[in-house]
Each structure stands twice: as structure tokens, then as C-alpha cells.
């Protein structure tokens, strides 16, 4: 009787690597964000702006993680990801631009912090829509 060991599917390897990269990014982001929020009110001048902006460094690493993911995956997965990102880019542009007009009409002003979660949500919708695009 022979034992048959199968190599893990490439998708599983990609998934584990991508999850690891995002976990590293978020593990760096969370404490930096919390620390900056805790101390920013006690600071003055330019230091206040520098400390307030420090969470952008690990947040920018999300781009690094996405680029690494795109290097790992096959052509089909890469195409679907590009389509999902394009959907998110244009969907976010249309929604934020449209909401800007609604603000002119009296809708409450939204913080710029609302844009990235919207783009992330649009990326998830785009990931669902991308395989169905012609």
C-alpha cells in the first residue's frame, strides 16, 4: 500500500501567503494607530502632525501586500484582481463625486476617512462582479 501525499494546490499557498502578509501589515498598523491616537492630543506644532500621520506608513504597506499577491497568482487570478480593483476605483470615484454634489445640496459633510472603507467595500463587490464581466 502506497501513501499518496498531494502537494497543496497553488491557490492554498497563495491564500496562506496573502493572509500572512496582510496579518503582518495589520499587526504593525494597529499598535501604531492606537499609540498615535493616545498621544496626539498632548503634542503641539509640527510634531502633532507627524505623530498623527504615522499610521499611514503601515497602512501604505497594504499596497505592498497587494502587489506581492499579484506577483504570486496566476494570470486568471491576476486579471480578476485587476478587474475588481478597476471596479473599485471607478465605483469609488462615481460615489464620492456624486456625494460631493449632494453635499452642495445640504447633505452632511463626510470625513475623508470614509473613502478608503468605501473603496475596500467596492473592491469586495468588484471581486464578486469581476468573474461575471464579459
- The pLDDT score that the predictor gives to residue 134 is 80
* Contacts of 94 by beta carbon, 8 Å cutoff, 6+ apart: none
pLDDT recorded at residue 8? 66
What gap in Å lies between CA 82 and CA 16, rounded to an integer? 20
User: What's the predicted TM-score (pTM) here?
Assistant: 0.74
Q: What is the mean pLDDT of each run of 10 residues along the chain (134 residues)?
A: 62 81 90 94 95 93 88 90 95 96 96 91 94 86
What are the boundaries of each domain within the chain?
11-73, 74-134
For residue 31, the Cα-to-chain-centroid distance in whole angstroms is 18
Amino acid at each position: 500500500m502506497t501513501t499518496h501525499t498531494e502537494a497543496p494546490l497553488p491557490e492554498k499557498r497563495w491564500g496562506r501567503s496573502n493572509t500572512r502578509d496582510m496579518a503582518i501589515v495589520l499587526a504593525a498598523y494597529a499598535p501604531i494607530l492606537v499609540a498615535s491616537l493616545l498621544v496626539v492630543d498632548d503634542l503641539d506644532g509640527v510634531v502633532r502632525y507627524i505623530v498623527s500621520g504615522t499610521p499611514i506608513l503601515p497602512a501604505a504597506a497594504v499596497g505592498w501586500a497587494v502587489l506581492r499577491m499579484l506577483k504570486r497568482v496566476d494570470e486568471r487570478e491576476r486579471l480578476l484582481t485587476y478587474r475588481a480593483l478597476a471596479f473599485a476605483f471607478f465605483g469609488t470615484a462615481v460615489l464620492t463625486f456624486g456625494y460631493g454634489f449632494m453635499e452642495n445640496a445640504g447633505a452632511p459633510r463626510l470625513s475623508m476617512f470614509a473613502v478608503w472603507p468605501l473603496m475596500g467595500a467596492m473592491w469586495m463587490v468588484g471581486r464578486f462582479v469581476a468573474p461575471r464581466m464579459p
